[in-house]
Amino acid sequence: MAKAPRLWPVAAVMVALVVPVMLSCKAFAGWPERLAGHGGPVKSVSLDPSGKRLLSTSFDYSAIVWTLPEGEGEPTLERLIGHNAAVNDGRFLSGNRAVTVSDDSDMILWDLTTKSVLSRFSGKGEKVLSLDVSPDERYVAVASWENEARVYDIAADPPRQAFALTGHRGNVNAVAFSRDGAKLYTASYDGGIRQFELETGALERELYNFGWGVNTLKALPDGKTLLFGVTDGKVGVMDIATGEEVKVLPPHQRPVLSLAVSHDGKRAASGGGDGVIRVYDLTSFELIEEFENPYGPVWGLDFTADGKKLFYAGLDDQIHVWQITPRKPFEPVDVDYPRRFQVTNTDDPGELQFARKCSVCHTLTPDGGNRAGPTLYGVFGRKVGTLPGYPYSKALLDADFVWNEKTISDLFDHGPDVVTPGSKMPLQRLKTVEDRDALIAFLKRATDPNGPKTQSGGTAK
């Protein structure tokens, strides 16, 4: 398997169906080495306090609750469908609930018993990257690209927004509650880490400004320090009282994208755009282990309940599990590479455009593959919004045209905001007529139900 470049751009993706599914892997006691079920790259992973359920979020517009059975057996999965864009982060809540945030700007409170939406809070149109839950579970804070953090009182009846925390000069990338629940800390693209008083939402001070965007932030168990990760690769520990860096940890070669603290408070981990994961002892900050995934960035991290393994996620549709202790002597990364959206070895310019612009969201086969968008199999001549079983947005259900050479060309010429306004389609445009014509010629061959199979999994004449 060839070694890959370490960071790959991907397109946003769309929605799947709510179906309980059994994983096809051998019986085991505990979490397997891979969890496969998403139809797009995975953005975050979060374990619940019992250690028997995992919540993952994905570019496929869904979140998944993974549940270990009693004794040996295979974990089950159930999808949470409700967001209209990539789902970026999520947490379990007591009372069999969960909370998620998305590129659609919204926060959703979920009833996990019924897999239904309890409350939905709309943002202002910009993406929300991450969230944190206060220790008493009264509040959820979200980091918004509207240059603000928002705090929601989910214990109120009905739940409501309590504060919008402003004063940032750039996108807010991360939020973290203090261990006593009295303060909220924010990390911004403007380089600042700020402290807010939770009772009033008042900005108290900027603890420090790095000059580089701060991507991720965790409050450490001692209640006195913060673990942070910066876009220049810096990882460190800050004293809250003084705003000083008290520990500088080995830097990543690319932006720091994820941090995790073990559930017993003894270990911490960092993940970067360089594919490197490092695990530290939180007493001494000594490096315990290091792992490199050569196939892309690490967007999501969390420890298993015993702290001996790490869930990690990135460009793959699967979640991987790395055994930290005892360390395995050989750990080949079991991934498909190049990924479907990284195709380069084709002489067909249309197939290349499909791989780059469409394949994250769509398949060319009758099976939709749990991807964000509907399969394109047989798309030519199909009325928009009519594929059975796919949860279309109201905008597409109300649209009245047929997919053909002209309408598909218009979609990539003018964009979905013009051709299908109000739909969930991400903005994907092709600037030249030649690129659009090549894509349409490929799609006509590859999506024809009567044509022979192609290397891309579609059909061709």
Q: How far apart are CA 361 and CA 370, in angstroms?
A: 9
The reported pLDDT for the residue numbered 345 is 65
Coil, strand or helix: which one is 39? coil
Q: Are strands 300-303 and 42-47 parallel, antiparallel or unpaired?
A: unpaired
The reported pLDDT for the residue numbered 224 is 97
Judge if the upstream peptide bond of residue 338 is cis by omega within 30 degrees of 0.
yes
Q: How far apart are CA 383 and CA 396, in angstroms?
A: 10
The secondary structure of residue 342, as a DSSP letter, is: G
- Residue from 275, 274, 348 nearest 312 by CA: 275
Tokens at 238, concatenated = 């800050």
This prediction has a pTM of: 0.79
Contact 127, 145 (CB under 8 A): yes
The reported pLDDT for the residue numbered 269 is 98
The reported pLDDT for the residue numbered 353 is 81
E strand segments, 355-443: none
Contact 403, 382 (CB under 8 A): yes
Contact 278, 249 (CB under 8 A): yes
The reported pLDDT for the residue numbered 29 is 54
Q: How far apart are CA 91 and CA 133, in angstroms?
A: 8
The reported pLDDT for the residue numbered 16 is 33
Coil, strand or helix: which one is 62? strand
The reported pLDDT for the residue numbered 22 is 37
Contact 278, 258 (CB under 8 A): no
Query: What pLDDT, in 10s, does the model give residues 206-252?
Result: 999 999 999 999 999 999 999 999 999 999 999 999 999 999 999 99
Tokens at 44, concatenated = 């975050």
> Can you list the alpha helix ranges (DSSP code H) found in 376-415?
394-398, 405-414
Q: How far apart are CA 423 and CA 372, in angstroms?
A: 13
Tokens at 126, concatenated = 């910009």
Q: Which residues contact 345 (CB under 8 A, 6 or more apart)?
A: none
The reported pLDDT for the residue numbered 20 is 39
The reported pLDDT for the residue numbered 2 is 41
Distance, CA of 125 to chain centre: 18
Domains in the chain: ranges and CATH: 21-323 (2.130.10.10), 343-446 (1.10.760.10)
- Residue from 43, 52, 135 nearest 83 by CA: 43
What is the secondary structure of 8-29 as a DSSP string? -------------EE--S--BS
Q: How far apart are CA 459 and CA 266, in angstroms?
A: 53
What is the secondary structure of 171-222 as a DSSP string? -EEEEEE-TTSSEEEEEETTSEEEEEETTTTEEEEEEEE-SS-EEEEEE-TT
Q: Which helix (H) or strand (E) holds 322?
A: strand 318-323
Ranges under pLDDT 70 in the chain: 1-29, 329-345, 424, 426-427, 452-461
- Residue from 149, 197, 138 nearest 172 by CA: 149
Q: How far lies 175's CA from each of 111, 322, 392, 454, in Å?
A: 24, 26, 32, 46
